Chain A
Amino acid sequence: SQQGEEDPQALSIQEGENATMNCSYKTSINNLQWYRQNSGRGLVHLILIRSNEREKHSGRLRVTLDTSKKSSSLLITASRAADTASYFCAQTTSYGKLTFGQGTILTVHP
């Protein structure tokens, strides 16, 4: 079975609002990553957080990791219509091998 679960499955917000997506996983990890997928396209890497890190920032993205709760969150601040996409968390459990969650569909209304 898949490693991670994401919540919510779908999120609809207005431009300018913040979007928060959560990810839970089951086993120990080396690192956790977030990817974005625009409709009909391949996935694009957003950010990686290592198991010994608690928080990481990249532009308007903020990722947190709580290894004791086996969970992570992705915050997108000041959302734009162009942020509309599906977002996936992925856990690395062994040599380069990633296991993905089911994803959160984010819709940002202009």
Chain B
Amino acid sequence: NAGVTQTPKFQVLKTGQSMTLQCAQDMNHEYMSWYRQDPGMGLRLIHYSVGAGITDQGEVPNGYNVSRSTTEDFPLRLLSAAPSQTSVYFCASSYGDRGPGANVLTFGAGSRLTVL
């Protein structure tokens, strides 16, 4: 099992450029989410999805878009990158509220993004 796979691992953008961070999971998890991690701030939830076709905003959604067309994939789009979006981004997934693994998140390895 690959678990949660994030690509790319590192990316440098210029202000105003757009890009997509990819996230895929092979565990048939219903719930997927994106967090950003900044020094001294812990992890903050950007967007999450409770199933294919359903997405919702987290704590810091501005500047980011998501979609969930399949159970496996949950890409995060930056439409016009800003220096404030320099961060480490983590994708995570879980079974949601049901089952023995309910609510337990499996994290990807992270994507480090720098916006100049």
Contacts and interface: CB of A to CB of B under 8 A. Distances in A.
Interface in B1-22: 4
Given A95-B97, A101-B42, A48 B104 contact: yes
Nearest to A6: B42
A88 interface: yes
Say whether chain A's binding surface is mostly helix, strand, loop, or mixed. Answer: strand
Which size bracket describes the interface of A in this complex?
20 to 34
B42 A103 contact: yes
A10 to B, nearest CB: 11
A2 B58 CA distance: 11
A100 B42 contact: yes
A98 interface: yes
A88 B41 CA distance: 11
Contact of A2 (B59, B102, B105): B59
B35 interface: yes
Interface string A14-46: 000000000000000011010100001111110
B44 interface: yes
B109 A96 contact: no
B34 interface: no
Contacts of A40: 110
B61 to A, nearest CB: 13
Nearest to B4: A42
B29 to A, nearest CB: 9
A97 interface: yes
Interface of A: 2, 30-31, 33, 35, 40-45, 48, 88, 90, 92, 95-103
9 contacts: A33-B105, A35-B105, A41-B109, A43-B92, A43-B107, A96-B30, A97-B48, A98-B45, A100-B42
